[in-house]
Amino acid sequence: VLDGLDELGLLDDLSTEGVRAADGLNLRVFATGEQIRWGFDVLRDLTEHPYNVHLGQDRFARIVLQHLHKHENVDVRWGTEVSGGTQDGDSVTLELSSSNGNSTISSAYVVGADGASSAVRSMFWGRDFDGMTWPDRFVATNVRYDFGSHGFGNANMQIDPVYGAVIARIDDNDLWRVTYCEDAGLPEESIIDRMPAFFDAVLPGDKEYELVHHSPYRMHQRAAGSFRKDRVVLAGDAAHVTNPTGGLGLTCGLLDAYVLHDALAAIIRGDVPADVLDAYSTERRTVFLDKASPSATNFKQLVYHSSDPAMLEQALAGMRHVAGDPDLVRAAQLDLSGLRTPSVVGRGAA
Ligand SMILES: Cc1cc2nc3c(=O)[nH]c(=O)nc-3n(C[C@H](O)[C@H](O)[C@H](O)COP(=O)(O)OP(=O)(O)OC[C@H]3O[C@@H](n4cnc5c(N)ncnc54)[C@H](O)[C@@H]3O)c2cc1C
């Protein structure tokens, strides 16, 4: 992902704004205090970016927007909703509604990148978004607390069937994203009443924390049956959604975009036939179903649902074994690079 952001000229600004986290993944067993670390140093000879960049998605989006505005052919229409759409052999027409009234816009292709409840997907795919919804709820909080002085790494998966959490530093002023899990049957309006008990239990030192933001959300593992319907393609959460344990949601969406922008540009230039969009659809969907979704499900299971001691011990034994061998750490870190798919341009001339 960072290689792609670098190619797009975004990485310097994102790294400056965010936290450059080079220490890798820290697995923490809440009950025993054990920590198992898989560092990124084993990737140094393979990539110029052996680190993660952590920052809130609002700040990420603001930087992307600043860069977009440098292009004369970009037109951002705020407060404008896509409310209908049709396509024929030559173009796609979308109906737009805003406080200024209704209008239409036509183009050769449309990318539906309008999130998990995608209107574009509903219009052109109907209810086709197969998969499942988890019975639990995540609560994503941003809190100010000095986790760092208590031995936390920049990115931590805290393993526990009750106090499981993902805890990641998101700025240099001790702002951390802490995401925990609760039964979705509990009333949403009283999350804030239950929250102090969670933090009382998990904060490693004093219990003085500042809650800056919190939001509950339901999680799904779902994907559209295909990511292309003729001149309309889906990308990001519109195409596939996953629970965010392991951070594979936006990651997969960005990896979709890297393949798609290249393909659409080549089609519009006349360099390749539009059929390359079928390769985009098949390859990105396969990667999501075979790799991203199972990985996120495994991460979720490990972090939040490790209630069987024997199974947990077996999983931990495997992770300790990996941590003790740099070659295995490298292989484990590289495993997720399989979320990338190669460019589909160059698979056939127009
Ligand atoms: C609490 C939380 C934590 C997460 N943490 C991570 C993480 O650590 N790492 C990670 O990789 N992923 C994470 N994710 C997932 C990540 O946020 C999503 O995968 C990502 O936002 C998807 O991006 P997107 O652009 O596809 O869709 P979205 O971010 O949902 O953007 C869709 C856009 O389309 C617009 N839109 C919707 N409908 C219409 C319409 N009809 N007309 C016009 N515009 C419309 C919306 O206003 C929005 O701007 C997290 C998600 C949540 C909820």
Give the mean model confidence (pLDDT) for residues 324-331.
Answer: 96
- Does ligand 1 have an atom closer than 6 angstroms to the CB of 64? no
Q: Are strands 228-229 and 165-169 parallel, antiparallel or unpaired?
A: unpaired
Question: With 60 as the cut, is the pLDDT of residue 259 above it?
Answer: yes
Question: With 90 as the cut, is the pLDDT of residue 350 above it?
Answer: no
Question: 115 alpha carbon to ligand 1 midpoint, in Å?
Answer: 5
> Does residue 136 contact residue 184 with C-beta atoms inside 8 Å?
yes
φ, ψ at 54 (rounded to 5°):
-105, 125
Contacts of 147 (CB under 8 A, 6+ apart): 156, 167, 169, 174, 176, 204
Contacts of 78 (CB under 8 A, 6+ apart): none
Ligand 1 atom 16 nearest Cα: 250
List 338's β-bridge partners, or say none.
Answer: none
Sequence-distant contacts of 277-281: CB under 8 A, at least 24 apart: 277/228, 277/233, 277/344, 278/228, 279/344, 279/347, 280/227, 280/228, 280/233, 280/256, 280/344, 281/226, 281/227, 281/228, 281/233
Ligand 1 atom 1 nearest Cα: 140
Alpha-carbon torsion 259, 260, 264, 270, what sign?
positive
Give the mean model confidence (pLDDT) for residues 258-283.
Answer: 97
d(CA 294, CA 235): 19
Question: 218 alpha carbon to ligand 1 midpoint, in Å?
Answer: 13
Give the mean model confidence (pLDDT) for residues 289-300.
Answer: 97
Question: 23 alpha carbon to ligand 1 midpoint, in Å?
Answer: 27
Q: Kindly report, residue by residue over 164-203, the tens digit of the pLDDT.
A: 999 999 999 999 999 999 999 999 999 999 999 999 999 9
> Does residue 137 contact residue 7 with C-beta atoms inside 8 Å?
no
Question: With 90 as the cut, is the pLDDT of residue 269 above it?
Answer: yes
Band the pLDDT of 348: cuts 50, 70, 90. Answer: low
Contacts of 322 (CB under 8 A, 6+ apart): 38, 328, 329, 332
> Who wins on pLDDT, 348 or 61?
61
Q: What is the pLDDT of residue 346?
A: 81
Question: With 60 as the cut, is the pLDDT of residue 349 above it?
Answer: no
Give the mean model confidence (pLDDT) for residues 6-19.
Answer: 96
Closest ligand 1 atom to Cα of 241: 19
Closest ligand 1 atom to Cα of 238: 26
Q: Kindly report, residue by residue over 126-161, the tens digit of the pLDDT.
A: 999 999 999 999 999 999 999 999 999 999 999 999
d(CA 39, CA 25): 6
Number of H helices, E strands in the chain: 10, 16
326-335 and 309-323 helices cross at what angle (nearest 10)? Answer: 110
d(CA 110, CA 230): 10
d(CA 289, CA 208): 42
Give the mean model confidence (pLDDT) for residues 91-111.
Answer: 97
d(CA 271, CA 274): 10
Indicate left, alpha or beta for 103 from its phi (over 0: left) and psi (-120 to 50: alpha): beta
End-to-end CA separation in angstroms for the chain: 29
Q: What is the pLDDT of residue 50?
A: 95
Question: With 70 as the cut, is the pLDDT of residue 281 above it?
Answer: yes
Give the mean model confidence (pLDDT) for residues 212-235.
Answer: 97
The model scores a pTM over 0.85? yes
Q: What is the pLDDT of residue 347?
A: 75
Question: With 80 as the cut, is the pLDDT of residue 87 above it?
Answer: yes
Around Cβ 92, how many Cβ atoms within 10 Å? 20
Q: Kindly report, residue by residue over 28-40, the tens digit of the pLDDT.
A: 999 999 999 999 9
- Does ligand 1 have an atom closer than 6 angstroms to the CB of 112? no
Token representation of residue 231: 């001149």
Band the pLDDT of 204: cuts 50, 70, 90. Answer: very high
Q: Which of 98, 133, 139, 237 to mutate to test the pocket of ligand 1 (most atoms within 8 A of CB)?
A: 237
